[in-house]
């Protein structure tokens, strides 16, 4: 006798795949917007969440481990994977290539892990486009744009870092204005406040997404 799940009997709602409640959380922000800090806080607060590991052709640095910090590939191997279409997103910066493997995301999602992505606005757009053709990624993807409340606050943050010359800061602010204009393409807009408040609201987003009917599993009665 054929047995159907309750979900399969609900019109228009197919049975959920394995790992169907897992989330692919993508956080993007302008330079100095605080996304690295928020990602670190989120990973510490959610032990069930893991970051996606990026591939790179740059050399291993002291203290780094292959498969933990990055997947380190030689240029020929990286290019082979590009040609095979294995990357969901990749780019070359200052002669070094970086990329995110499609399998890196799907393997973790299928194991029931929530996956965290920390990417720039351009990378976010590429991942959103690719996810449209990947049902598992589309179902799991949640995009969040983090931004300071004003360009003045962002300028102050960049100055406090004391890592860039004034000319470089102005250049970054110019890029930031263009990036912030893309906020409406994200699922959520998170206007940065304090670190604890940013984390509180980010956790609220995660919990809300977990309870969406498309992902949640109700008890059988």
**With the C-alpha atoms ordered 133, 27, 95, 74, is the resulting torsion angle positive or negative?**
negative
Q: Which residues are within 8 A (CB) of 90 and not within 5 positions of it... i.e. 6 or more apart?
A: 55, 82, 97, 98, 99, 100
DSSP E strand stretches across 57-213: 71-72, 87-93, 96-101, 114-118, 141-147, 188-191
Nearest Cα neighbor of 71 from 54, 89, 86, 85 is: 54
Q: Domains along the chain?
A: 20-210 (3.40.50.300)
pLDDT digits (tens, 9 = 90+) for 150-172: 888 888 888 777 667 888 888 88
Res 3: pLDDT: 34
Average pLDDT over residues 23-38: 91
Q: Where are the beta strands (DSSP E) in the chain?
A: 24-28, 49-51, 55-56, 71-72, 87-93, 96-101, 114-118, 141-147, 188-191
Contact 186, 28 (CB under 8 A): yes
For the chain, the straight-line distance linking the first and the last C-alpha, in angstroms and rounded, comes to: 21
Q: What is the mean pLDDT of the chain?
A: 87
Confidence of residue 8 (pLDDT cuts 50, 70, 90): very low
> For position 132, what pLDDT does the model report?
92
**Other CB atoms within 10 Å distance of the CB of residue 192:** 21
Q: Which two tokens stand for residue 11?
A: 């019109």
Q: Give pLDDT tens digits for 64-78.
A: 999 999 999 999 999
Q: What per-residue confidence (pLDDT) applies to 150?
A: 87
What percentage of the chain carries pLDDT values higher than 90? 64
Query: Helix 195-210 vs helix 35-45: angle between axes, to the nearest 10 degrees?
Result: 60
pLDDT grade, residue 126 (50/70/90)? very high
The pLDDT score that the predictor gives to residue 13 is 40
More confident site: 216 or 41: 41
Taking the model in full, what pTM does it have?
0.82
Task: Look up residue 214 and give its two tokens.
Answer: 């498309």
What percentage of residues in the chain have a pLDDT greater than 70?
A: 90
Residue 99: name the closest of 116, 114, 81, 120 by CA.
81
Whether the predicted pLDDT of 12 surpasses 50 = no
Return the pLDDT at 32: 78
pLDDT of 55 over the 50 cut: yes
If we measure between CA atoms, which residue out of 185, 116, 168, 176 comes closest to residue 151?
176
Determine the 3-state secondary structure of 174 from DSSP.
Answer: helix
The number of residues making up the chain comes to 221
Q: What is the pLDDT of residue 218?
A: 81
Q: For 88-115, what is the mean pLDDT?
A: 94
**Helices and strands (H and E) in the chain: how many:** 9, 9
């Amino acid at each position: 006798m054929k047995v159907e799940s309750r979900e399969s009997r609900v019109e228009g709602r197919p049975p959920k795949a394995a790992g169907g409640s897992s989330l692919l959380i993508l956080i993007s922000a302008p330079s100095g917007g605080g996304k690295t800090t928020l990602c670190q806080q989120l990973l510490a607060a959610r032990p069930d969440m893991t970051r996606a590991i990026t591939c790179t052709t740059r050399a291993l640095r002291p203290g780094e481990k292959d498969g933990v910090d990055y997947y380190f590939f030689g240029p020929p191997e990286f290019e082979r994977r590009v040609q095979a279409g294995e990357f969901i997103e990749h780019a070359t910066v200052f002669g070094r290539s970086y990329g995110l493997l499609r399998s890196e995301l799907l393997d973790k999602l299928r194991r029931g892990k929530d996956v965290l992505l920390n990417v720039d606005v351009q990378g976010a757009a590429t991942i959103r486009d690719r996810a449209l053709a990947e049902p598992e990624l589309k179902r799991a993807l949640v995009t969040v744009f983090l931004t300071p409340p004003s360009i003045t606050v962002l300028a102050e943050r960049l100055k406090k870092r004391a890592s860039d010359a004034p000319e470089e800061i102005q250049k970054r602010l110019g890029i930031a204005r263009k990036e912030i204009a893309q906020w409406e393409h994200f699922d959520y807009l998170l206007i940065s406040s304090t670190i604890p408040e940013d984390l509180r609201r980010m956790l609220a987003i995660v919990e809300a997404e977990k309870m969406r009917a498309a992902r949640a599993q109700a008890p059988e009665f």
